[in-house]
A and B are shown apart, each in its own frame.
Chain A
Amino acid sequence: MDHGNDAAFVEFERVQKSYDGETLVVKDLNLSMPKGEFLTMLGPSGSGKTTCLMMLAGFETATHGDIRLAGKPINNIPPHKRGIGMVFQNYALFPHMSVAENLSFPLEVRKMGKSEREAKIKRALDMVQMGAFGGRRPSQLSGGQQQRVALARALVFEPELVLMDEPLGALDKQLRETLQFEITRLAHNLGITVVYVTHDQTEALTMSDRVAVFEAGKIQQLAPPSELYEKPMNSFVAQFIGENNTLEGKVTQIDGATCTVQLDSGDIIDAMPVNVSHVGERTKVSIRPERVEFNKSRLREGAHTLKAEVLEFIYMGDIFRTRLRVAGTDDFVIKTRNAPDQVRLSPGDQIEIGWLAEDCRALDA
């Protein structure tokens, strides 16, 4: 990824949005994107992510704050003068025009000559492997083909910024995966800046340079996918991204990068203090199912362990998913890889589990 130009290309500064003048749908949003970045806004419905996209596109106006594109405030520029491409969830292809006419529309609006238009339309359609479909009506295409056309139409007038509002939401899983890959490839090849909205975390993790996790009108964490998954900064992000085990307790000791937490059941565990700062504070610790270890030889000397009872063993092909009863909870999950030497637990087994302190994050309660 080339971040040659580090100056912010898209900027939200202290942006607020309220529809009714009372409740804020977007609270104090600050975001800055360099040119060429693929940024995903991820969050549950009603978290404000789509509102942010609509403000960027110009279909909603910010109640407070500035939105800047390439350094210029765009709050007062109507949508049709912003020059931003957009892909909609329901494709929004014009049903009364052929595929080629759909692509021609943004070029005609820009008063481009016929031969230039035709060349651009051909190039854009070839780019999404739809070159042979120029004469078809949108209604004669499948969902995946329609979304390719919509993508070509958003790119044909060569905007520098393209917005995508859950573009793959209506497609089946396999098609979604193919198109995820195609969209990322296109975006990187063309060097365009993309703001992508989705509620599908797999999509967010696989496609983006950075992901902004939205909740209750705020960005909870803005980070590259690996950091988001491995180093969630608060319990919402830990819960929202991937599968996660949560245990509640109280900090009993902090020692630099490690701390010990006494769970409500009385057990003591090792953790890494993330947003706890003093002894006695309540905390939720978060640990990923694949980072839990029940082979004692792989744990550090003196590491705390917990007694666990196997409740359920699920064979999932590439991995085993085992549900345990640990420290008073019945839904503690561990995942192990289906390797030749892997132990297959069975219900009723009594085991001891532990983990590396840095894999267990003590977050806000």
Chain B
Amino acid sequence: MSGPPIYATTGQRIWFYGFRVICGLIFFFLIAPIIVIIPLSFNAQDFFTFTPEMLRFDPAGYSTKHYADFFTNEAWQVPLMNSLKIAPVATLISVGLGTLAAIGLSQSHVPFRRAIMAVLISPMIVPLIISAAGMYFFYSRIGMQGTYWGVVLAHAALGIPFVIITVTATLVGFDRSLTRAAANMGAGPVTTFFRVQMPLILPGVISGGLFAFITSFDEVVVVLFVGSAGQKTLPWQMFTGLREQISPTILAAATVLISISILLLATLEILRRRSERLRGLSPG
């Protein structure tokens, strides 16, 4: 790391190092609680703290028994399966509807675009507990409370804003003369969409989809309201597990969730770079 510039005054030097200390503290504050979970999940004891063996780096202090429990115990496997059944379907719905909404709202002739956009984005802004309570009453009224599709639709509604935002962002850079050129060469609107527009906005669609997936996969408030025992998801199980049975398996589950999140975010970053490359080189 390079030092402060040689012409810096004493005050600037102090600030130069002070700034780095503050940044370090912020990162520590944000990441430490997450990092700590990972070694703790390999605890050989049923404790939430580091045992003396662990601190001595004695192999006997570590084990993967909590992971074994996570992957074999029905109390965890059923919620995991529920999550895996709910999140992808909710994601598909979010991506489909969100992409169409973004494309529609990017056309300048659509009336009340801003108002419609605000309504569609609102699940991201309105406090979750309020959305959840609203959905609870609404879904009860129409008989969807406590059903699989109820949870899926609720999660899709939460995911749509992410898709709309990312797709709208990619559409801003989209050159409208490309669709005109396609039409001019004889391609109908559907062909134009799938062969010209879709490939170019795909990075936005996929990153929106990943956000929607993570939203559904991590979501606990809405599912508590809208779901019933049959739709108990992984975060729900963690939430109740923490209060009722205090088993370190929760740490293993958390580590698995963190890994999935990191994996998805890495994919996101790769996609973002790819789209940047495509766009940076695109003509005009």
Contact B177 A90 (CB under 8 A): yes
Contacts of A90 in B (CB 8 A): 175, 177, 283-284
Segment of B35-43, B187-195, B214-222, B250-258 engaged in the interface with chain A: B187-195
Chain A contact patch, size range:
20 to 34
Contacts of A80 in B (CB 8 A): 182-189, 192
For A146, the closest partner residue in chain B by CB is: B283
Complex-state Cα separation, A110 to B199, whole angstroms:
21
Interface string of A30-60 (1 = CB under 8 A from B): 0000000000000000000000000001110
Contacts of B279 in A (CB 8 A): 95
Q: Select one of A58, A78, A106 contacting B185, CB under 8 A.
A: A106
Contact B284 A105 (CB under 8 A): no
For B179, the closest partner residue in chain A by CB is: A92
Interface string of A133-170 (1 = CB under 8 A from B): 00001111001001000000110010000000000000
Complex-state Cα separation, A350 to B191, whole angstroms:
72
CB distance from B210 to the nearest CB of A (A): 21
CB distance from A57 to the nearest CB of B (A): 6
For B177, the closest partner residue in chain A by CB is: A92
Contacts of B184 in A (CB 8 A): 57, 79-80, 82, 84-86, 154
Complex-state Cα separation, A86 to B191, whole angstroms:
18
B178 CB–A CB distance under 8 Å? yes
Contact A137 B182 (CB under 8 A): no
Contact B200 A92 (CB under 8 A): no
Complex-state Cα separation, A186 to B2, whole angstroms:
61
B181 CB–A CB distance under 8 Å? yes
Contacts of A143 in B (CB 8 A): 283
Complex-state Cα separation, A301 to B99, whole angstroms:
80
Complex-state Cα separation, A122 to B283, whole angstroms:
23
21 A/B residue pairs, CB under 8 Å, sorted by A: A59-B180, A79-B183, A80-B182, A80-B189, A81-B186, A85-B185, A86-B180, A90-B175, A90-B177, A90-B284, A92-B177, A92-B178, A94-B181, A94-B196, A96-B200, A105-B187, A106-B187, A109-B186, A140-B281, A153-B181, A153-B185
Q: 16 other contacts beyond A57-B184, A88-B181, A90-B283, with CB at 8 A cut-off?
A: A58-B183, A80-B185, A80-B188, A80-B192, A85-B185, A90-B175, A92-B178, A94-B196, A95-B282, A109-B186, A109-B191, A138-B282, A139-B282, A143-B283, A153-B185, A154-B184
